[in-house]
């Protein structure tokens, strides 16, 4: 049958097989969705996305630069012309300068702050504006966040501020679009060594710590994020909007490590 059979939409941020966006893509395809991919118009990224499109038989690819309102607008014009109306849109885009992801948040440059917020947060607002115009019968918009938007994660720095703004934006967008039967949510996923996460200082230590402290005593798997996204894009979550759904094996509920934590660190 397929939870998304007859539904179609765009997924952003698919750059390799390790990204959460890729796991969401696989989950959606397995449940019958028709999916198009948007990608940053850079040669290296385009090659990767085209290869994935060929491997998974995804014919519709559209360039879209998250830092450019004009690129976003023209990208959605192509979507409307060549792909059609949308039932879902997945925003999996974030960027900050490497130098702003180490040391002190206090030392973030104004240019670095503005770039991180523009690409990681405002792009959701801008893309949602255009995607929602193609959701004539309602739909689901989903973004990806991380616990660093709620609590201090050393070295996450300006990206944590961007994620906090992203989560607030989700709530306001959910309010704005509710009357159009469009739901807006975000998944706060646990750490994995994706291409994006690899630039965050001490990411390996963060992953190990999470696996020892989380109630499930392991790290989240990409497929689990994919399944949660499937739920949020499908009619199973018809009454859910404006939410931050944590998919992190319970790590986010912990206020302190377990009493035997020291013995669990290798």
Give the catalytic positions in this structure: 146, 156
Nearest one of 123, 125, 122, 120 to 146, comparing CA atoms = 120
Q: Please report whether residue 266 resides in a domain.
A: no
Q: Please report whether residue 112 resides in a domain.
A: yes
Cα–Cα distance for residue pair 235/256, rounded to 1 Å: 37
Q: Please report whether residue 58 resides in a domain.
A: yes
* Number of compact structural domains in the chain: 1
Nearest one of 88, 83, 90 to 13, comparing CA atoms = 90
Q: Please report whether residue 15 resides in a domain.
A: yes
DSSP 88-151: EEEE------GGGGSS-GGG--HHHHHHHHIIIIIHHHHHHHHHHHT-BTBEEEEEEE-GGGTS
Please name the residue that has the structure tokens 């392991």. 218
Please name the residue that has the structure tokens 């019968």. 137
The two structure tokens encoding residue 238: 């018809």
pLDDT tens digit at each of 266 positions of the chain: 699 999 999 999 999 999 999 999 999 999 999 999 999 999 999 999 999 999 999 999 999 999 999 999 999 999 999 999 999 999 999 999 999 998 899 999 999 999 999 999 999 999 999 999 999 999 999 999 999 999 999 899 999 999 999 999 999 999 999 999 999 999 999 987 655 555 555 677 778 888 899 999 999 999 999 999 999 999 999 999 999 999 999 999 998 888 777 565 55
Domain ranges, residue 117: 8-249
Q: Please report whether residue 2 resides in a domain.
A: no
Residue 113 maps to which CATH number?
A: 3.40.50.720
Q: Please report whether residue 260 resides in a domain.
A: no
Q: Please report whether residue 123 resides in a domain.
A: yes
Q: Please report whether residue 256 resides in a domain.
A: no
């Amino acid at each position: 049958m397929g939870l998304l059979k007859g539904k179609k939409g765009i997924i952003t941020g698919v750059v390799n097989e390790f990204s959460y966006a890729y796991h969401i893509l696989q989950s959606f395809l397995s449940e019958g969705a028709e999916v198009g991919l948007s990608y940053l118009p850079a040669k290296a990224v385009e090659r990767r996305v085209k290869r994935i499109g060929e491997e998974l038989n995804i014919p519709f690819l559209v360039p879209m630069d998250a830092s450019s309102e004009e690129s976003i607008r023209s990208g959605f014009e192509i979507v409307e012309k060549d792909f059609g109306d949308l039932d879902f849109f997945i925003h999996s885009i974030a960027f900050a300068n490497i130098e702003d992801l180490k040391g002190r948040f206090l030392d973030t440059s104004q240019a670095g702050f503005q770039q991180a917020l523009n690409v990681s947060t405002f792009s959701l607002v801008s893309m949602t504006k255009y995607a929602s115009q193609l959701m004539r019968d309602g739909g689901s918009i989903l973004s990806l966040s991380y616990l660093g938007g709620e609590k201090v994660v050393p070295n996450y720095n300006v990206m944590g501020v961007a994620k906090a703004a992203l989560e607030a934006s989700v709530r306001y967008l959910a309010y704005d679009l509710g009357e159009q039967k469009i739901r807006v949510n975000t998944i706060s996923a646990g750490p994995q060594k994706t291409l994006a996460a690899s630039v965050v200082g001490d990411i390996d230590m963060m992953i190990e710590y999470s696996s020892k402290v989380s109630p499930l005593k392991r790290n989240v798997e990409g497929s689990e994020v994919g399944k949660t996204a499937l739920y949020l894009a499908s009619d199973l979550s018809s009454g859910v909007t404006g939410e931050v759904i944590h998919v992190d094996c319970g790590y986010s509920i912990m206020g302190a490590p377990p009493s035997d934590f020291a013995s669990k660190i290798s």
